[in-house]
Each structure stands twice: as C-alpha cells, then as structure tokens.
C-alpha cells in the first residue's frame, strides 16, 4: 500500500539531487525509537522517481522530503493509520486516524464518510534538518496526557508472536467481563476498558492476597512458624 500524499491536486516532481544523512531517531514527534527505514513523504509514484528532493509546480522552492522512521511508524504511514501532510507553512506534520471507542468501528468518520484525523505534531526533525530535538520526547502529563485518544505499545516479534498474544489477552479479558455480567454485548466492550478492568482487578487481588498465595509460593519454615 502506498502512503497518502502530503498535498493533493498539485504537480510535484522529483529533482536530481544527492542524498543526506537520515535522522538517528524516528521523526514521528512522540517517538524515541531508532530510525530503521527511509520514508519518501511524497510517494515515488507521485514524483516519478526516488529522488530525496522535490519541486512543487507553483513554487520555486526545492525541498527535501525523505525522513527516517522506525519500522512501526513506517508501517502506520504505509497502511494509512497515519498521514504525513505538508502544511502551508512548509512544515511536514504527523496525523493519526481518529479512533472510536467501539471495537467494530475502530475509527471515526465525518458526516460525508471521510476519515477523521487527529493532529499529533510536526515531524521531529523535519527532513534533512538534523537530529531530534527531544531524545526521546518527555511523556505528556496532566490534562494533555488525559486527552490522548491513542497510545502505542511495542510487542515482541521474535520467538514470540506478540500480536497473537495480545489478541488472546484481549479476548480472555472480554470473556471474563461478559461472564461477570458487566456487559450485555461482548462485541462492544472497548479494548481500553477491558485492560483497565483487568489491571484494577489484579491490583485489588494483590492488595488483599498474601504474596505466597497469589504466586503459589511455599512459605519458608521460618515464615510458616510465624
């Protein structure tokens, strides 16, 4: 799948140029992972070649457009979960699909059926502009943190299939919530609420259950005497 175009309805062509060193850290503004892939913000199919610089028809400016991304964020862009747009001020800006609270409708749409997007921030760094200003960026706090609609997690993908383990975990928790009678429709239990419920139940269990019992540990002779 090809990434979404940064701008529409304008002629953009690749121009002959040399390449520049990629940023060391992923340019997604909230990410502190190392760069793994060079990403052409303007797809090769749009500019007609694999040049790292482009010229826009109604502008005399030639701009760099290849940025370094980690593998996960590169996949997000290529699979249209994220969108790098070129704004009128000349900044490349990262957007994520706006998410829904419903599992059967993970994303939100406007009244005309178009996907809605959530602004994350300007690429850090912009293409060919050096290194990330935050390594990694400080995590959001307070109200800014609470208002987030999406978070990312890294899953193992070596000897373990992290995606399969995650799906199994979510399914098990939803089964538990439904069997407890907390939801009438299992298919509409939000993933986030499932994980929060599991964490709260585990926390209460740990608070009121001796460590040995909760982990199946046999107490030592000295502990057994007391």
Q: Which residues face 85 on adjacent strands?
A: 93
Q: Which residues of the chain have pLDDT under 70?
A: 9, 58, 101-104, 134-152, 154, 157, 159, 207-226
Cα of first residue to Cα of last residue in the chain, in angstroms, is 65
What 8-state DSSP symbol labels residue 134?
S
- Closest by CA to 132, choosing from 140, 122, 141, is 122
Backbone dihedral region of 89: left (phi > 0), alpha (psi from -120 to 50 degrees) or beta?
A: alpha
Predicted pLDDT of residue 193: 82
d(Cα 151, Cα 157) in Å, to the nearest integer?
Answer: 19
- Closest by CA to 88, choosing from 120, 40, 56, 117, is 56
Predicted pLDDT of residue 139: 46
What 8-state DSSP symbol labels residue 139?
P
Domain boundaries, the chain: 12-141, 155-210
Helices (H) and strands (E) in the chain, counts: 7, 10
Find all residues with CB under 8 Å of 111, minimum gap 6, and list them: none
Number of residues that make up the chain: 226
Is the N-terminal amide bond of 136 cis, ω within 30° of 0? yes
CA dihedral 128, 137, 151, 38 (to 10 degrees): 20
* Backbone Cα Rg of the chain: 23
Q: Which helix (H) or strand (E) holds 96?
A: strand 92-97
Q: Please give the structure tokens belonging to residue 208.
A: 């009121």
């Amino acid at each position: 799948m090809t990434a979404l175009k940064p701008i529409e309805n304008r002629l953009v062509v690749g121009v002959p140029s040399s390449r520049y060193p990629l940023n060391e850290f992923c340019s997604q503004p909230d990410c502190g992972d190392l760069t793994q892939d060079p990403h052409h913000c303007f797809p090769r199919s749009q500019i007609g070649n694999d040049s790292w610089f482009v010229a826009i028809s109604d502008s005399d400016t030639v701009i760099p457009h290849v940025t370094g991304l980690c593998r996960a964020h590169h996949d997000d862009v290529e699979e249209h979960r994220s969108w790098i747009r070129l704004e009128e001020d000349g900044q490349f800006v990262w957007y994520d699909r706006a998410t829904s609270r419903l599992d059967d409708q993970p994303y939100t749409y406007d009244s005309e059926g178009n996907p809605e997007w959530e602004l994350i921030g300007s690429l850090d760094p912009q293409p060919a502009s050096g290194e990330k200003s935050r390594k990694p960026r400080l995590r959001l706090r307070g109200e800014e943190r609470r208002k987030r609609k999406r978070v990312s997690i890294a899953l193992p993908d070596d000897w373990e299939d992290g995606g399969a383990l995650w799906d199994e975990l979510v399914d098990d928790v939803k089964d538990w919530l439904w069997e407890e009678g907390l939801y009438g429709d299992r298919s509409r239990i939000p993933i986030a609420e499932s994980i929060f419920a599991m964490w709260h139940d585990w926390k209460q269990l740990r608070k009121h259950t001796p460590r040995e019992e909760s982990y199946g540990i046999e107490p030592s002779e000295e502990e057994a005497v007391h």
